[in-house]
A and B are shown apart, each in its own frame.
Chain A
Amino acid sequence: MTSGAERPAQEPPPSRRRLLVSRATLGQWALYGGTLAVILFLAVAVDWARLQDKMFRTDLVVDQFPRIVTQAAKNTLIFTAFGFAGGLALGVVLALMRLSTFRPYRWFAAVYIDVIRGLPALLVLIFIAFGLPIALDIRIPGTYGRGSVALAIVSSAYIAEVVRAGIEAVPKGQTEAARSLGMSHGQALRRIVIPQAFRIIIPPMTNELVLLLKDTALISVIGVTEATKELTRFGRDGVNENANATPLVVAGLVYLALTLPMTRLAGYLERRARASR
């Protein structure tokens, strides 16, 4: 503290400063102490051996492989890909309808989006799987088909809102410049506005993709065949066969292995988009 004598004006009196520091340090130690107490409590109070026996039996973990990857994770990704492709196509159409000057289009899109977003995804899936065949005598062929269409319908409502926000974020001057060069409304949209909108919405769109990947778990409710089992169904079947929760825990870990890189990517893209502004 020799510098204190040289620059007395810049630092608070030593006694008061020490008090401040110690108060802050005290708070820090309280947090560390609290955390440590919780960890100790968990270590002592939880019956780890029983927990591992019921939920993470090593032999059952090994048993899940390789089918949990080659079959279940593959099917989850297939449903995600089809669902997202369909949801994106439908979502763009809905977004354009919402922005249309033709009122019935706007109304239709608004009602569709409100209803789908206002219902639990599970209910929508059930309506599509069981209601549609009764109502319209339509049977979507194949389990992949049924599940993918249902997921596309659910995700399209969310994607439509993201796309609409993206289109509205493109400055009006862009459309005006395009139109002033003689481009039609459609050309301006296709070549100037939508490409820019998609750049803006890459981060929120990645989030939609993660949500959709997790929603594939709901497909197990409307029934899948042996060949199209996705992760959740695969895990639950494993639970039933072995009377042990380990397969579902492993399925959970595989989900994380798929979603974590995607959320990280979304975060990175978001930071980069913010930095470039």
Chain B
Amino acid sequence: MTTKPGAVPAVHLVNVRKSFGRLEVLRGIDLQVAAGEKVCIIGASGSGKSTLLRCVNLLERPTSGRVLVEGIDVTAPDCDIDRVRARVGMVFQQFNLFPHLTVERNVTIAQETVLGRPHDLAVDTAMAMLRRVGLDEKRHEYPARLSGGQQQRVAIARALAMDPSVMLFDEATSALDPELVGEVLHVMRELADEGMTMLVVTHEMGFARRVADRVAFIDEGVILEESPPAELFESPREERTRRFLQRVLERDES
């Protein structure tokens, strides 16, 4: 939680609220992620954790409150959101690879159209990122020919190729067959070890415990509790956190 004085947090949410019609999904979220920090967000489905993440790069526009990415207020009306988004990598539950493009083109297209990188450099970068996730040999395949785990790793490479300063993971392993979860978590853990700033919405408590600097438990649209993983998992302050953890751990054991 401690940010160096004067240092600008990578992500800073100030009293963010979000309603869909009458339903208030986020009810005043305050959250800071310092550069290099890894923060995991846990909570029941429907608690608003995905919406929170999507507010960071404005896939959802907050109803009120402010979102700052590296000090830039993305909720300001004159903000060039495309430029900010290029610096914020996002990995989706459903992978969302572009099915009409090869693996390599998936990773180069935004480098060229958004960053204006020359084709050769974009390809070199793509290959480096694909190597990093262990899929450089699949460069000419189409996404449909890859397993879910492989697709998700390509999606991570696609985001990394933009040289993001923050990576957002929206339940990146929830749509995967159980035996494929490990390979994706492995890539995410490596990324964390290399010092990437990460904001991770997840159901993988093992990952949160091992990788996160802080874990935030979100319930009914508010962050109920936020502490280092050892503290949150071993001795949660809130009764609702305890009950949630109990439910999740029972499921993992059964």
**Contact B100–A196 (Cβ < 8 Å):** yes
- Provide the residues of chain B in CB contact with A199, threshold 8 Å: 100
How many angstroms between the C-alpha atoms of A193 and B241 in the bound complex?
A: 41
A184 x B59 contact (CB < 8 A): no
Q: Smallest Cβ distance from B75 to chain A, in angstroms?
A: 16
On whether the beta carbons of A176 and B83 are closer than 8 Å, the reply is no
Contact status A182-B96, CB under 8 Å: no
Q: Are A181 and B85 closer than 8 Å at their CB atoms?
A: yes
> Could you say which of B33-41, B86-94, B125-133, B220-228 contacts chain A?
B86-94
CB contact under 8 A between A173 and B109, given known A180-B59, A180-B85, A182-B82: no
Q: Count CB-based A-B contacts (< 8 Å).
A: 60
In the complex, the answer to whether B100 meets A183 with C-beta atoms within 8 Å is no
Instruction: Tell me the complex Cα distance, A184–B114, Å.
Output: 8
Binary B-proximity of A184-196 (CB < 8 A = 1, otherwise 0): 1001000110011
Min C-beta distance of A274 to chain B, whole Å: 16
A181:B162 contact, CB within 8 angstroms:
yes
How many residues on the B side are at the interface (Cβ–Cβ under 8 A)? 26
- Are B110 and A183 in contact, CB atoms less than 8 angstroms apart? yes
Inter-subunit contact A182/B86 (CB<8 Å): yes
Name the CB-closest residue of B to A190: B113
User: Would you call B110 and A182 a contact (CB within 8 A)?
Assistant: yes
Minimum CB–CB distance from A172 to chain B (whole Å) comes to: 9
Contact (Cβ within 8 A) A176 B92: yes
The tally of residues in A whose CB lies under 8 Å from a CB in B reads 18
Pair B85/A177 contact, Cβ less than 8 Å:
no
Complex CA distance for A178 and B158, rounded to whole angstroms: 11
**In the bound complex, CA of A82 to CA of B87 (Å):** 45
- With A173-B96, A174-B98, A196-B100 already in contact, the answer to whether A179 and B113 are too (CB < 8 A) is no
Which chain A residues lie closer than 8 Å to B155 at the CB level? 177
- A173 near B92 with CB under 8 A, answer yes
Closest to A173 in B: B96
Residue from B57, B83, B97, B100 in contact with A180 in the complex, judged by beta carbons closer than 8 Å? B57
- B159 in contact (CB, < 8 A): yes
Nearest CB of chain B from residue A199's CB, rounded to whole Å:
7
Q: For B113, give its contact among A191, A195, A196 (CB under 8 Å).
A: A191
Is B109 in contact with A182, judged by CB distance below 8 angstroms? no
- Contact call B98/A192, Cβ cutoff below 8 A: yes
Q: How far is the CB of B158 from the nearest CB of chain A, in Å?
A: 7
Is B182 on the interface with A (CB-CB < 8 A)?
A: no
Measured in the bound complex, the distance between the Cα atoms of B110 and A191 in whole Å is 10
Q: How far is the CA of A181 from the CA of B158 in the complex (A)?
A: 9
**A187 and B92 contact, CB distance less than 8 A:** no
A108 and B83 CA atoms in complex are apart in Å by 33
**A contact residues around B86 at 8 Å (CB):** 181-182
Give the complex CA separation of A199 and B101 in angstroms: 12
Contacting pair B109 A191 (CB below 8 A): yes
B78 vs chain A, min Cβ distance (A)? 16
Taking CB atoms, residues of chain A closer than 8 Å to B162 are 181-182
Q: Are A183 and B113 CB-contacts (below 8 A) given A195-B100, A196-B100?
A: yes
**Among residues 51 to 79 in chain A, which have CB atoms less than 8 Å away from a CB atom of chain B?**
none
Knowing A181-B159, A181-B162 touch, does A173 contact B110 (C-beta < 8 A)?
A: no
Candidate in B82, B97, B155 with the most chain A CB atoms within 10 angstroms:
B82
Q: Find chain A residues with CB under 8 A from B99 CB.
A: 196
CA distance A180 to B88 in the complex (A): 8
* A276 to B252 alpha-carbon distance, docked (Å): 36
B-side contacts of A178, CB under 8 Å: 98, 110
Q: List 26 A-B contacts (CB under 8 A).
A: A173-B94, A173-B96, A174-B96, A174-B98, A176-B92, A177-B96, A177-B97, A177-B98, A178-B98, A178-B110, A180-B57, A180-B88, A180-B89, A180-B92, A181-B85, A181-B86, A181-B159, A182-B86, A182-B110, A182-B115, A183-B110, A183-B114, A192-B98, A195-B100, A196-B98, A199-B100
Known: A177-B90, A177-B98, A182-B83. 8 other contacts (CB 8 A): A171-B94, A176-B96, A179-B82, A181-B110, A181-B158, A182-B86, A182-B110, A183-B82
The 6 closest A-B pairs by CB, nearest first: A182-B86, A181-B110, A177-B96, A182-B114, A180-B90, A173-B96
